[in-house]
Amino acid sequence: MMGYSTKVVATRTLLFVAAAAALEIVPRVGVGTQLEIIPFSEMLHGVWAITSSGELWPHLGTSLLSIGSAFLTATVLGVAIGYALWRLPRIYAAVSPYLVSYYAIPIFAFYPILVVMFGANRIPIYLLAAGWAVVAVVVSTVEGLAHLRQSWEKVADTYHLSWWDRALSVHLPAAWPQIAMGMRLAATYSILGVIASEFILSGEGLGHMVNHHYNSFTFREMWGGIVTVFAVGITLDVLVRRMTRGLESER
Amino acid sequence: MLIMDQVSMRYPATGGGAGDVLALDRLSFRVEQGEFIVIIGPSGCGKTSLLEVIGGFRRATGGRIEIDGEEINGPHQDIGVVFQEDSTFPWLSAEQNIEFSLKHRGVPASDRPTRTAEMVRLVGLDGFEKHRPSQLSGGMRQRVALGRALAPQPKLLLMDEPFGALDEQSRLGLGDELLRVWRATGCTIVFITHSLSEAAMLADRVVVLAARPGRVLDIIPNPAGAGRSSERIGTPEFSEMTAVLWNLLKSQVKCGKRDA
């Protein structure tokens, strides 16, 4: 009899196979033109084409570096800001509406301003992605800390824990499940922030590569790039999930 | 060992209400080294306030509290506390929870594993060292909390209705375990409860508090003597003790209801 996790993996695989089959069949039965969608096997050929030609690697490396930097910055800064806001409840109450409505702001509108300020290089991309991802970690950190048990605080009092020891030994471990959820969201926002910015204005990165093939009407390579972005997203999510679970079991 | 001298606790009025609330009124009693003292009183008599001022979580607004001649003005390193609610850290295993207190009391890392293992054995957690609190029953979690409080060998152990959330059978079982641990360590215990049978089973002496404000109504020595345990529940001494306590508390419970 299948266990719960085996069933989850089996369902996930089944969904993927079903989506791939649909993507394979739909274009072949004449739904959409080649300008719109190509069969899944052609997309995989596109992945092979950009991989074997060597075109993918520098773009992938550049994007991964920006995604990783944005994710790490968002995590460290988000936990620190979230912790500070939790310790300053009046300030948190004041900024809370802005944090909640943050993701309604079209942040990419600021990209041209950042380009003017920092130039057409990786800095605006990194700032945009980190700035977009950080709020997810801030909100999840405050949310996690808001549910601390009073008895844990009393235990910390009993042992005269300094604020630093208290944060590291009690507060952050207690809030960890919510922080981990924020980190997963931050990973997604980092990917989206980097790829979308590269798509808008950049000379390198996966987003630029997809945009370049789109403008060049080389749709097979364009779809190859999109499939690669999809794979990067899934891989990063799995990595973050494993990492946060690893820390959970170490505690 | 512990001296409570005219200790009062007054809370300021909240929410714009008029008048302060006097929770403890000039409370005085002494606890000797190695003694097991139970504090009992009706609901709202200030039992938890009393524990909080002895534990240093709150400063008494009047009087003086001393441990071995040293005045208590805040959490003290010679005091361990077991709380009523579950205070174990769910992200740590049972033995890591116990080791937590050793680490933060400055016990060298090299000594911690041995002392943790001793404490695991003492509180009866053998075989459950690696379990997380979520994998343990309420009673087992309180054993972890007891082990954590006892591991740094405090001079005084405060227990705030530690078995209050447990069923009667578990309470009796853990009461026996606590007596065994107390006899093995010789530590001084101040145990707060609202249960007459728990008081009669555990205490050397019972400090009975009056209702609102909390003040010492009487201090009753336990006739059951040193060999007391849950097996003595049906004995005449046990019945006598619970009857004495109930007779003292009966009028106070009525007072408490009237005030409420």
Q: Give tens-digit pLDDT for A34-62.
A: 667 889 999 999 999 999 999 999 999 99
A37-250: which CATH architecture?
Orthogonal Bundle (1.10)
For position B250, what pLDDT does the model report? Answer: 84
Of A152, A176, A251, the CB nearest to B87: A152
Model pTM score: 0.83
A169-185: b (≥16 Cβ within 10 Å) or e: bbbbbbbbebbbbbbbb
Task: Compute the average pLDDT of residues A142-147.
Answer: 93
What residue spans define the domains of chain B? Answer: 2-78+154-259, 88-153
Looking at chain B, the whole-number percentage of residues with pLDDT higher than 90 is 52
Mutate to test the interface with A, among B85, B86, B87 (most CBs of A within 10 A): B87
How far is B193 from B114, CA to CA, in rounded Å? Answer: 33
pLDDT at B42: 86
Burial of A238 per CB tally in 10 Å (0-12, 13-18, 19+): exposed
Mean pLDDT for B141-149 is 94
Closest to B217 measured CA to CA, from B226, B225, B208: B208
Please state the rounded mean pLDDT for residues A117-142: 93
- pLDDT for A243 equals 84
With a cut of 60, say whether residue A251 has pLDDT above it.
Answer: no
Predicted pLDDT of residue A34: 65
Q: What's the pLDDT score for residue A36? A: 74
Per-residue pLDDT at B260: 45
* Cβ burial, residue A162 (10 Å; 0-12/13-18/19+): exposed
Does position B253 have pLDDT exceeding 80, yes or no? Answer: no
Whether residue B220 has pLDDT greater than 80: yes
Nearest CA in chain B to A151: B87
Show Cβ contacts of residue B259 under 8 Å, excluding neighbours closer than 6 positions: B44, B211, B212
Q: Where do the H-state alpha helices sit in chain B? A: 47-55, 94-104, 112-122, 138-150, 168-185, 196-202, 236-259
Q: Find residues 143-182 of chain B whose CB sits inside 8 Å of chain A.
A: 148-149
ipTM for the assembly: 0.85
Mean pLDDT across B114-118: 95
Q: How many CA atoms lie within 13 A of A23 on its CB side?
A: 17
Residues of A in contact with B91 (CB under 8 A): 173-174, 176, 248, 251
Q: What is the mean pLDDT of residues B206-215?
A: 87
Q: What is the mean pLDDT of residues B40-67?
A: 89
pLDDT in the model for residue B18? 63
Residue B257, pLDDT > 60, answer no
Mean pLDDT of chain A: 90
How many residues in chain B? 260
Residues of A whose CB is below 8 A from B75: 157-160
pLDDT at B171 over 80: yes
- B86 CB within 8 Å of a chain A CB: yes
Distance CA B206, CA B35 (A): 11
- CATH class of segment(s) B2-78+154-259: alpha beta
Q: How many residues does chain A have?
A: 251
Q: What is the pLDDT of residue B215?
A: 87
For residues B44-55, average pLDDT: 87
Q: Name which of A137-141, B21-25, B153-157 the model is least confident about.
A: B21-25
Q: Choose, out of B100, B104, B141, the residue to mutate when testing the contact with A (most A CBs < 10 Å).
A: B104
Q: What single-letter DSSP state applies at residue B214?
A: B
Cα angle B67, B74, A80; round to 5:
150
Rg (CA), chain A: 22
Q: Are strands B79-82 and B156-160 parallel, antiparallel or unpaired?
A: parallel
* Residue B254: per-residue pLDDT: 62
- pLDDT of A249 over the 60 cut: no
Give how far A243 is from chain B: nearest CA, Å: 16
Least confident of B28-32, B41-45, B90-94: B41-45
Instruction: Report how far residue A74's alpha carbon sits from residue A187's, in angstroms, rounded to the nearest whole number.
Output: 9
Mean pLDDT of A132-142: 95
Taking CB atoms and an 8 Å limit, are A149 and B100 in contact across chains?
no
**Is the model more confident about B170 or about B127?**
B127
Chain A closest CA to B195's CA: distance in Å?
22
pLDDT one-digit tens code per residue, A183-216: 999 999 999 999 999 988 788 999 999 999 999 9
Select the residue from B73, B77, B89 to test the A interface by mutation, using most A Cβ atoms within 10 A.
Answer: B89
Count interface pairs A-B at CB distance under 8 A: 51
Most confident by average pLDDT, A9-13, A110-114, A132-136: A132-136
